[in-house]
Amino acid sequence: MMAKLDDFSGRLDAAFALLPNAIEQKRSVIDREYQERQQRFAQEFIPAVAKVREIFGPRSDALVARFKDIIHLSADVRDDFSKVAFSFDSSLARVTLRFNFTHDEEVRKMVLVYDLEILPILMKFDNHSTLELPLAAFDEQVVTEWLESRMISFIRSFVELNENQYYLNDQMVEDPVARIRMPKAVARETLHFEGQTYYFISAQTRDEFAKRHGTAVLETNGAATRALTAAAV
């Protein structure tokens, strides 16, 4: 029995002696894979994300120009990824558009992510899209088409938001002269009279309202800012 136990102990020792070698082999594999990822990151991903920025930049500028004063841009651009967020001033909803340019875990693919957030959610819209491209065969045309299609999709969603009755319920007003209901944003003229704001589809209906109420419309320095005051007797 003792011989058998000694034999078993010897087998245990022999098996256990393989552990350091196995650990070292695993360590070597992990280190090699890490170095290869770092190499792909430097040689493939960094040039690819630079190309994406070149494509995205002028199109982002064009998008911002269309929205002028109602857009706020925040960007987090680093070598390993790029995040850009646009927020839009809207009385109807909180609107945030995000683009994220990154890579997969193995740094073999470029991953482009589009996210659109509209809160509250009262309509269906294209809120998410992902494009994956192999870094070894980066295609600028595919990236360009994807980015442009996402921006167009966003604009369509934004237009639909501003036409959607569920969002407009609290924003609808009526021209008291033309008897036309419309969103506040559509009204070309507003006047303040007896503590209330009136909205008009045109300067003509505004002036007719002033005439009916025996009032005069005054312009401040010839600008579009107007107030309704009692007409001089």
pLDDT for the residue numbered 75: 61
The least confident of 17-21, 101-105, 146-150 is 17-21
Share of the chain above pLDDT 70, in %: 86
Rounded Cα distance, 35 and 11, in Å: 37
Q: Report whether pLDDT(228) > 70.
A: no
Determine the residue type at 216: A
Q: Which two tokens stand for residue 75?
A: 């960007």
Rounded Cα distance, 125 and 20, in Å: 56
pLDDT: is 99 or 217 the higher one? Answer: 99
Mean pLDDT: which of 58-72, 128-142, 219-233 is highest? 128-142
Rounded Cα distance, 92 and 106, in Å: 42
The least confident of 40-49, 62-71, 150-159, 191-200 is 62-71
Q: Which two tokens stand for residue 218?
A: 């005054």
Confidence bin at 77 (pLDDT 50/70/90):
low
pLDDT for the residue numbered 78: 57
Name the residue ranges covered by the structural domains of the chain.
34-165, 172-230
Please give the C-alpha separations between residue 6 and each of 2, 14, 124, in angstroms, as whole numbers: 6, 12, 74
Determine the residue type at 16: F
Q: Report whether pLDDT(82) > 90.
A: no
Neighbours of 191 (CB within 10 A): 21
Question: Does the pTM exceed 0.85?
Answer: no
